[in-house]
Amino acid sequence: MYHKTNFPLICAILMGLLKPKIRDFADTDLVVKPLAEGIYFTSSRKVIAMFDTNRYAINYIHQALIKQVIEPPSIERAGDNIDALNAIYEAHKVGNIEGARKAWQVLKKAVPHLNRKQKLINFNDLHLIERPQYALKPSENGQAPNYAIYLKGLNALYGQPGSGKSFVAIDFCKRLALAYPENAVIFSAGEGTSGLSGRSEAWDKHFKVATENMFLWDEAVPLLNPEAVEEFIANVEALNPIFVCIDTLARSMAGENENDTSIMSKYITATEELMRRLDCGVLLIHHTGRAGYIRGSSVLDGSCDSMLKLQSSDDVITVFNSLDNGGKNKHNPEIPAIRMQILPVNIQVDGDIQNEAVVILSDKIIDDVVEKLSDNQMIIIEFIFDVGEPATAQQISEAVEIHKANLYRNLSKLTKSEFLSKDDISKTYNLTDKGIKVLGL
């Protein structure tokens, strides 16, 4: 019988005994030594990746995909994985890193137990890891939209209901399907299929090209339901999908609370696991909240590689990637706002004319004021107007939900652009005539 106050100490001792010891010794075979009855530690100086053949193989593949020079795989350490590693090695000899990557794209479906993310990476190797790439190459002639959407990343496209999200999503998916004819693009229609067929046909008609490798999943993919995810993967993996568009995030959460941090964390983990299993990128279509920003837990925007916010005015849709306008670009400079307009297209359905539409780059000139002001900047201007007198940064900060660093940055921009004036003595900000004009007064 132990004394109650000694229990934490006993736990600490046991945890210390059970913790594996990884030491920096000479290259040796794996040796397991008894420390006490039923308790072992390793004296190998190899890293965790060499504790078993699978981990060795995963580490070997990772090295082949990022390093210019690699050694032949060890037959003893590779075990049953030796054939796969030899194939990677031979491809690396012929085509270096690019050759190894192409071979791995073919092999990984045959060895799913090795298709895992390498978690332990030497800091000196970080520069060798492939930089995230956009799904579509930038348009050289300016005739196509430059979407800030990453090919193997987690992306979000959001806006108010009726802002044109599905039009933009279909435009992106169609272009991606054309760019990767050997792969599939999957569109999960969680909000129903109504209108999708007509919009797809209208796109093909307007751009005079048809896509044969874009597929519709006729319901939401409930990503928090493992069985449903397995069903989805089993149905689409043979198509070699390169991208999955999920319309919408809310439907794919199947009624779970998107504002709950723990639930959203599980949702993001499930989405990333889907991306890993299919080796594809994902575009989540979502809605704005009351403040005009993306709805739900901040875990979502913290996890995204890119975020695009849509705003519509009349028949013009603006796609924002900049942070000040509700967007995000984790890996590259923010892409300038894309102006698009809805173009009516008539198609024939069962002999009848049906009115549909596509989005194209807009040649319309938008008022400069609209382009310069973000949601947060409009909130600041509206607050000062409602107060009816100059306000300090502290007063504004206490009244609006804007992070202080972001608030000061926006106050500086509004002052430089002459939407606000600043009194250096009282440290207050006031609206200028230009600022009042933004409110339509």
pLDDT digits (tens, 9 = 90+) for 326-347: 999 999 999 999 999 999 998 8
pLDDT tens, residue by residue, 99-128? 888 888 778 777 877 777 666 777 877 666
**Tokens 């597929």, located at residue:** 215
pLDDT tens, residue by residue, 178-213? 999 999 999 999 887 778 888 999 999 999 998 999
Average pLDDT, the chain: 81
Question: Helix 165-179 and helix 196-207: axis angle, to 10°?
Answer: 50
Percent of the chain with pLDDT over 70: 84
The pLDDT value recorded for residue 118 is 65
- Rounded to 5 degrees, what are φ and ψ at 311? -130, 140
**Tokens 């030497």, located at residue:** 122
What is the per-residue burial (b if ≥16 Cβ within 10 Å, else e) of 291-319? ebbbbbbebbbebbbbbbbbbbeeebbbb
Beta strands in 167-260 (DSSP E): 184-189, 214-217, 241-247
376 band by pLDDT with thresholds 50, 70 and 90:
confident
Q: Mapping DSSP to helix (H, G, I), strand (E, B) and coil, where does residue 254 land?
A: coil
Q: Mapping DSSP to helix (H, G, I), strand (E, B) and coil, where does residue 356 land?
A: strand
Percent of the chain with pLDDT over 90: 40
Give percent helix, percent strand, percent coil of the chain, each to the nearest 5: 45, 20, 35
Question: Domains in the chain and their CATH numbers?
Answer: 4-42 (no CATH), 48-128 (no CATH), 154-365 (3.40.50.300), 369-438 (1.10.10.10)
Q: Is residue 84 a contact partner of residue 54, using CB atoms and an 8 Å limit?
A: no
Q: Is the pLDDT of residue 1 over 80?
A: no
Tokens of 389: 């007198």
Edge-to-edge strand ranges of the sheet holding 428-431? 391-392, 428-431, 420-423
The phi-psi region of residue 422 (left if phi > 0; otherwise alpha if psi is between -120 and 50; otherwise beta) is beta
129 Cβ partners below 8 Å, 6+ apart? 66, 121
What's the pTM value of the predicted model, to 2 decimals?
Answer: 0.65
CA 311 to chain centre: 20
- Rounded to 5 degrees, what are φ and ψ at 247? -120, 100
β-pair partners for 156 = 284, 307
CA 219 to chain centre: 21
β-pair partners for 86 = none
The pLDDT value recorded for residue 404 is 82
